[in-house]
Structure 1
């Protein structure tokens, strides 16, 4: 029986890393959520609007900064000693160029969003692009080697740093700059932490032939990331141009809260997904296991998003105060998109694990092409709530069908085998959300409605999906047993 390093099977390493990834996300989101609540009560919605503009620029630049080169290192079936130095050089050079470009073009970018106040915020956040390029290799090695347990400490230290910095800055009247500088401080702490815990440290180097091989895999992924992040941020651009900074701030808060389930679940999955999927694809077993991954993710994700939709108004008011109540309607519509986004992220990870990144780019292009006019008309007709409607419709009717079609071709499986396990979870979540809304919409106290709705929804979902949950738990126990043949580490290291 072949095993991973240290005599541990891939299944056991993946299960342990997923567990610690879950702990990491739980602690991280608690701190992040607490920070957002505190800051939302200290600064005005328009400051969140300025931050939203800066985050759009930062996110796009960050995901282009290493040209997808880390994908070759993350998949887990290549020699890191051979790959890492060239990846380091590519990441360092491109992130430096992106940082300089974002800093120089900040005034023009802020003007494009009709928010000149965002200029200095963009310039400060551009520093995180360079920091991410410097830390690209160690952070990827932490991911590749399933080092989620020590990563908990590092990420938590970074989040605490953000909290420690942002509160006094906000109290001192820094506004959006408090949010920006605190993020830079947190990024520095995380960078140092990853360098400490990574199992091997690499200096920059360059192999021209290897660089071509790395970029052949990575460039389509980088372009896909660029398109998807434009897609996920074009709503900010349109709202900023068609409405006002306060509306943009409300929408940013609602979007982040609606995306909380997807960000937590996908972050837990990504603690192990690409390295695990890459190894399973090399073994030839990814196709037969893909449906189980979809079933498990949907079982956890759908009820959370259903509760966000059903309890949007009491959730917003309880968490952030009555001043943010207008964001509730946007949160309700964005909750649908939160559920679909979880599936989209899983499908993307399956495709990267399979080494198929070219068609991934074209799916993202189709997404952007369909979403842009939908957002324009949605915002024009229904304001920030219309943006949520547009996201939900396009993700459900365009993006997911395209992903399913592509994965069935790549993994040689049927659409039914990939999706059938999600249907009961979808039904249970819909019933749970309906019960939570009908049982609480008449309550005057938001905190009481929130608590009662969560209890009622959980009870309904548990009853409807009890047998499926029991079966999933049994399958997970079997899957991670040391003798399971589908989860053994492939012997030796292969090509990219």
Structure 2
């Protein structure tokens, strides 16, 4: 593990993941007392992270239903190009400085003046590059009309550059409740502005103005909640320490984000904005689980693994095994429903005119599973301080992903692009992630063995879901309820140990019995 002069072992988290770390008092606890302290802090952060992401994702889902009826597939395609640009830009906006502040082992007064200056400078410089390059980026994606939307939407980085260090301070203190409330306030403004503008015919600009408004409101609230004086300064030694760890972390996340959005660029360039709109809708649906579970897990995974790898390597390895298996077991039933019931799901939620997205969704759902696992592997590597390993893991994935996306799109349109993305995840990303984890000392065989049970349950549940759907055709809602219900029953019965099922059944029976007695009394 790399060490820095004057700083403890690097245990940085990912900027966009909302990673937090224990306060300074916890950082200095003895190994035997660190784990319970970390568990309490991480548990609180995870609860707020889950609550916040559930609320915002549920709101985004409802907003998407409304917007899909107000806008055209071409509007969605134009927005997809701008969203890809903003997402790429946001991951590297501060060169990893925010993540480094979260994990800084010294006092805040030592690091925040320099970190604030670095955040300002990087945000302004990167926005200038994207402002000038917006026409070229839009042309590359096959939607030249998206350039003005790209320029507007990427202006969010200017707000983030102003508030990044304050957000990092809140994460450092595990004050995810304040972050969640700020984001919630911004989201309400986003929905109001975007839907109002869409109803008035603003097209893709309605999305952009909504997000810019949300960034300003959420950023202002977090800036005040951090209770940190605005001090500017520049210390070369502090800057060197921040960038030495932050740049590889930002590079790894930036490459991960570019890979995530590569489908937009390839489909837009080859198929045009209308087909890109169908692809975007399916991709958004497949991103529900990463958006909720993945975002919440990243609030605590990096700092948690950082502390465990530092104090207790055996507990660290076991934590990786149990967490990765639990993550897979949680994600697979959602993927099962999306794969087997993509057509009724899209028809019920968005209407028959979006049916072209259904064939794409079933393959993007498989890609979603691999995406969750590789993102988790990146968290583990970052928690160990192996940010360069995470960076090279994503580079290796990208080398083969892009050709597979291009070949798939040319052979079979947007469905081929989704197939290429799924195959790249299974055949390339997962093996590279396993190799990097093993190289960094994480045992892979116990992890693979523990994943066999949920994978077998997934196969059986998928067969039952598809079979019930084939035998009972009908309205979309009925197909979803019957097919998903049957498949989930089979999945749960196979993946959850019988002893645990009996315990849960006993607890439910006890609660029902107590309620019945109270009612009679």
State TM-score, norm by structure 1: 0.90
Equivalence for 2:302: 274
Equivalence for 1:294: 324
Change (3 A) 1:452 1:3: farther
* Structure 2 CA distance for aligned equivalents of residues 215 and 416 of structure 1: 35
Cα deviation for residue 45 of structure 1 reads 0.5
Equivalence for 1:32: 60
Further displaced range: 166-175 or 191-200: 191-200
Aligned residues: 471
Q: Are the equivalent residues in 2 in contact too, given 1:65–1:94 (CA < 8 A)?
A: yes
Equivalence for 1:316: 346
Counterpart of 1:203 (choices 231, 244, 250) is 231
Change (3 A) 1:399 1:136: same
Deviations 1:115-150 (A, max 9, x none): 121011011112101111212112222222222223
Change (3 A) 1:78 1:352: farther
Q: Are the equivalent residues in 2 in contact too, given 1:115–1:245 (CA < 8 A)?
A: yes
Cα deviation for residue 419 of structure 1 reads 3.0
* Structure 2 CA distance for aligned equivalents of residues 264 and 153 of structure 1: 16
Counterpart of 1:224 (choices 239, 246, 252) is 252
Equivalence for 1:482: none
Tell whether 2:441 aligns with 1:419: no
Equivalence for 1:340: 370
Equivalence for 1:326: 356
Tell whether 2:118 aligns with 1:90: yes
Cα deviation for residue 198 of structure 1 reads 2.6
Change (3 A) 1:154 1:266: same
Q: Are the equivalent residues in 2 in contact too, given 1:157–1:190 (CA < 8 A)?
A: yes
* Structure 1 CA distance for aligned equivalents of residues 346 and 447 of structure 2: 35
Change (3 A) 1:141 1:308: farther
Q: Are the equivalent residues in 2 in contact too, given 1:265–1:342 (CA < 8 A)?
A: no
* Structure 2 CA distance for aligned equivalents of residues 201 and 246 of structure 1: 48
* Structure 2 CA distance for aligned equivalents of residues 78 and 395 of structure 1: 39
Equivalence for 2:512: none
Equivalence for 1:145: 173
Deviations 1:209-264 (A, max 9, x none): 12112111111122222322222222211111211211000001101111211221
Change (3 A) 1:43 1:178: same
Tell whether 2:34 aligns with 1:4: no
Cα deviation for residue 407 of structure 1 reads 1.4
Cα deviation for residue 375 of structure 1 reads 0.6
Q: Are the equivalent residues in 2 in contact too, given 1:308–1:335 (CA < 8 A)?
A: yes
Q: Are the equivalent residues in 2 in contact too, given 1:298–1:425 (CA < 8 A)?
A: yes
Tell whether 2:180 aligns with 1:158: no
Deviations 1:260-299 (A, max 9, x none): 1122111110121222222222213323321111122112
Q: Are the equivalent residues in 2 in contact too, given 1:72–1:78 (CA < 8 A)?
A: no
What is the aligned-residue RMSD (CA, Å)?
Answer: 2.2
* Structure 1 CA distance for aligned equivalents of residues 480 and 247 of structure 2: 45
Give the alignment of 1:287-436 within 5 angstroms: 287-410=317-440, 412-436=441-465
* Structure 2 CA distance for aligned equivalents of residues 44 and 12 of structure 1: 47
SS of the residue 1:444 aligns to: coil
Q: Are the equivalent residues in 2 in contact too, given 1:74–1:274 (CA < 8 A)?
A: no
* Structure 2 CA distance for aligned equivalents of residues 449 and 109 of structure 1: 42
Deviations 1:88-138 (A, max 9, x none): 221111111111221222122212222121011011112101111212112
Q: Are the equivalent residues in 1 in contact too, given 2:143–2:272 (CA < 8 A)?
A: no
Structure 1: which 5+ runs fail to align?
A: 475-496
Q: Are the equivalent residues in 2 in contact too, given 1:67–1:215 (CA < 8 A)?
A: yes
* Structure 2 CA distance for aligned equivalents of residues 293 and 351 of structure 1: 14
Cα deviation for residue 449 of structure 1 reads 1.1
* Structure 2 CA distance for aligned equivalents of residues 367 and 26 of structure 1: 30
Cα deviation for residue 446 of structure 1 reads 1.0
* Structure 2 CA distance for aligned equivalents of residues 126 and 357 of structure 1: 26
Equivalence for 1:460: 490
Cα deviation for residue 76 of structure 1 reads 6.2
SS of the residue 1:233 aligns to: helix
Q: Are the equivalent residues in 1 in contact too, given 2:178–2:222 (CA < 8 A)?
A: no
Q: Are the equivalent residues in 2 in contact too, given 1:28–1:159 (CA < 8 A)?
A: yes
* Structure 1 CA distance for aligned equivalents of residues 358 and 103 of structure 2: 40
SS of the residue 1:4 aligns to: helix
Equivalence for 1:44: 72
Structure 2: which 5+ runs fail to align?
A: 1-23, 505-521
Cα deviation for residue 3 of structure 1 reads 6.8
Q: Are the equivalent residues in 1 in contact too, given 2:142–2:270 (CA < 8 A)?
A: no
Q: Are the equivalent residues in 1 in contact too, given 2:101–2:169 (CA < 8 A)?
A: yes
* Structure 2 CA distance for aligned equivalents of residues 196 and 418 of structure 1: 43
SS of the residue 2:399 aligns to: helix
Equivalence for 2:285: 257
Give the alignment of 1:112-127 within 5 angstroms: 112-127=140-155
